[in-house]
Structure 1
Amino acid sequence: MKILLVDDVHIERMQLSLRLERLGYQVEAAENGADAIEKYGKYLPDLVLLDVSMPDMSGTEVAQKLRELYPEWVPIIFLSGHDEPEMVAKAIDMGGDDYLVKPVNKIVLQAKLKAMQRIASMRHKLAEATAMLERANLQLSKQATEDGLTGVANRRYLDSRMQEAIAWHGRNGYPLTVLMVDVDHFKAFNDNYGHLEGDRCLIKLAQALEQQFSRAGELVGRYGGEEFVVILGNCDKLDAVAHCERLKEAVHTLAIPHAFASTSDQVTVSQGMLSWTPTGLETLDNIYALVDEYLYKAKAQGRDCYVAADFL
């Protein structure tokens, strides 16, 4: 157990520190209130032994300040040469958890510390359990929103963010762009290179998409199979065309070999792009159907290209 001992009387501070260390505790000593507050944040003790009567800042003032600065509860035991009931009651009211009268009785001190050690152990176990729960919740949250293979947004999260984007852009009158991206001749890639290589191809493509579209208001999601959807907030058709061209070049830069494609000797993508200012009433089915239509127009035009359209 780590103990922060605060006492302005040097000899008393040294004597009690030695007693505590002989009992097997780690001790950090502070000579006044300001010193205690500074050392608390660095040392993060399991227990504070705090003298009540100190110049400049009393023990009760130090306790109040520690409770304000550090919400996580750590027990505070006040030390005082006074044993009046009123003093004890005031100390507890001011944030203390127990009270010891100086000079501290050895047996009483050991008993109090044993109780505080049990509390410290429970606090550490609770902290570990809380950390494990937070990690588990984070993992569940990732599973709920991420595509298991590529790590981009999954279809459920993509749909949710799309609805939010349509509503928000509709309320504020801003343009919204949706891209649908499909790997050209992906069946031939899988059939000839194998599904493991096909998975690696999709992962590389997803990473490239996220590198290109990582700003606020942009989201990359896996629509299904080898198709991805990109949401571009506050993006009009002119900017969207530039994004499509940039994405096309980024995929070329990946230089993933594809000897079984009629379009190119490496992996390429086709893109359908839809830019419009939403009314806020559009449905996901209508949006996906329309952008999918322009994706297939890009495929019909020879693949490795994009077809841009305004909302009709």
Structure 2
Amino acid sequence: MFDFGPSYRVLVVDDQATHRTITRKSLEQLGHRVVECAVPEQAAAVFKVVRPDLVLLDVEMPEHDGYWVARQLRAIEAGGWTPIIFLSSHHTDEDIWQGIHAGGDDYLAKPLSPQLLTAKLHAVHRLLQLRLKLLERSEQLREANERLAHVARHDALTGLLNRGGLDQALHEALQRCRHAGAPLSVMLIDVDHFKAYNDALGHVAGDAALRRVAQLLRDACPKPGDLAGRYGGEEFALLLPGTPRSGAMTLARGLLRIVASAAIPHPASSVGPHLSFSGGITTLVPDEASTAEGVLLCADEALYAAKSRGRNCFYSFEMQMDTAEQRDLLRGV
């Protein structure tokens, strides 16, 4: 006789008390725990509560037969799998086909043979172990895919979204804001004279400075839906769904104060002794004509204006970029 190993919780569905008793005693002798159900219409409810490891299901029952019960159980699982073995005094090819078609996994003829029952349970045990291994492998694969997706969308140096990740996030933000009728603000931010910084202090120091800037931008994002990314080189981007122009301008002033307070030395900058930002802002309520490319183009034009007007400032594409108001509001101190 096989050593079946661990104890399982078995649901026995049979309208005949004598048959249930025989089956229960056979299973208990093998070390398993048994829950009985005499009414086929109640089997699904018992199954939900018990969540058995195995179901032994009589075929011939009044009102609803075992095939009907099996279909109910399979509908409950919704992607899971609990082995179902039919019990029947009829075991022709047609009976077996109908049982498998209804969702069963095997067939046992009545009266039960303890030795055959043990063998069937041993086979079920092997299938359960195989399923557990497959589930573990599937979970490992899912986690690996999530890690790969994270790596593919994030910049290795700063940990922020990379250009591809930003493009995808911008498309998604446009869709959400278009659907909600909400504003979307986008900032492109450039570290002033960063090539000169690398030339003066070296690329190791430059990488450290970019990581520091990335952390400043990440910490400055005021809302959970806001995203920071590395647009390329020393350029960064902020996506601010639900933020109107006034909110974006307020954040821009805050960023200028934050980078000034960080006081990261920049010995080769013509702007001042410390690292500084230039930035371009664009704000819109997206419609069907709005595109990610168009949004980035507007932000880039505003960034170019900020650079051409002395750097260490932000400009908004939607406002006249050479107005006194813009200079007063957004020029760094």
Structures share fold, TM-score greater than 0.5:
yes
- Please state if 1:20 is matched with 2:25: no
Root-mean-square deviation (CA, aligned residues, Å) is 4.2
Matched to 1:67, the amino acid is: R
Q: Which residue of 1 is the match for residue 75 of structure 2?
A: 68
SS at match of 1:151: coil
The match for 2:56 is 49
CA deviation after TM superposition for structure 1 residue 201, in Å: 3.7
- 2:330 aligns with none
Structure-2 change in CA distance of 1:57 and 1:141 (3 Å): same
The unaligned stretches of length 5 or more in structure 1 are 22-26
- What is the Cα deviation at residue 215 of structure 1? 4.0
Whichever residue aligns with residue 8 of structure 2, its letter is I
CA distance in 1, matches of 2:278, 2:83: 64
Residue among 25, 38, 48 paired with 1:37: 48
Aligned length: 300
CA distance in 1, matches of 2:67, 2:232: 62
Aligned equivalent of 1:155: 163
Per-residue deviation, 1:150? 2.3
One-letter amino acid of the structure 2 residue matched with residue 48 of structure 1: V
- Give the TM-score of the pair, scaled to structure 2: 0.68
Mapped partners of 1:92, 1:286: distance in 2: 58
Q: Identity over aligned residues, as a percent? A: 36
Q: Is the 8 A contact 1:213 1:219 kept in 2?
A: no
In the alignment, the residues of structure 2 paired with residue 19 and residue 197 of structure 1 have an alpha-carbon distance, to the nearest angstrom, of 73
CA drift of 1:277 comes to 5.5
Write the distance in 1 (CA, Å) between the matches of 2:257 and 2:87: 72
Distance 1:160 1:36, change over 3 A: closer
Alpha-carbon contact 1:181-1:272 (below 8 Å) kept: yes
Moved more, 129-138 or 297-306: 297-306
After TM superposition, the structure 1 = structure 2 runs for residues 218-257 of structure 1, keeping only pairs within 5 Å, are: 218-251=226-259, 255=262, 257=264
Where do 5+ consecutive residues of structure 2 fail to align? 1-5, 38-42, 321-333
Question: Aligned-pair distance for 1:210?
Answer: 3.8
Q: Distance in 2 between matches of 1:74 and 1:243?
A: 55
Matched residue of 2:144: which SS? helix
Give me the whole-angstrom Cα distance separating, in 1, the residues matched to 2:27 and 2:287. Answer: 71
Q: Could you say if the C-alpha distance between residues 169 and 48 of structure 1 is closer, same or farther in structure 2, counting changes exceeding 3 Å?
A: closer
What amino acid maps onto 1:30 in structure 2?
V
**Letter of the 2:26 counterpart:** L
Q: 1:4 — aligned with what?
A: 9
Is the 2:91–2:107 contact (alpha carbons within 8 Å) kept by the matching residues of 1? Answer: no
Residue type of the alignment partner of 1:124: L
Matches within 5 A, 1:231-310: 231-251=239-259, 255=262, 257-258=264-265, 260=267, 267-276=275-284, 288=296, 290-299=298-307, 303-310=311-318
Structure 2 counterpart of 1:18, one-letter code: E
Counterparts in 2 of 1:244 and 1:109: CA distance versus 1, 3 Å: same
Query: Which amino acid in structure 1 is aligned with residue 73 of structure 2?
Result: L
Change (3 A) 1:270 1:52: same
- Structure 1: how far apart are the matches of 2:61 and 2:179? 61
In 2, distance between residues paired with 1:89 and 1:244?
70
Aligned partner of 2:82: which letter? V
Give the aligned residue type for 1:6: L
Relative to structure 1, the CA distance from residue 5 to residue 273 in structure 2 (aligned partners, 3 Å threshold; closer, same or farther) is same
TM-fit CA distance, 1:120: 2.7
**Counterpart Cα distance in 2 of 1:252 and 1:65:** 67
Report the Cα offset of residue 229 of structure 1.
1.4
Residues 189 and 258 in structure 1, CA contact (< 8 A), matched pair in contact too: no
In 2: Cα distance, 1:12 partner to 1:58 partner = 20
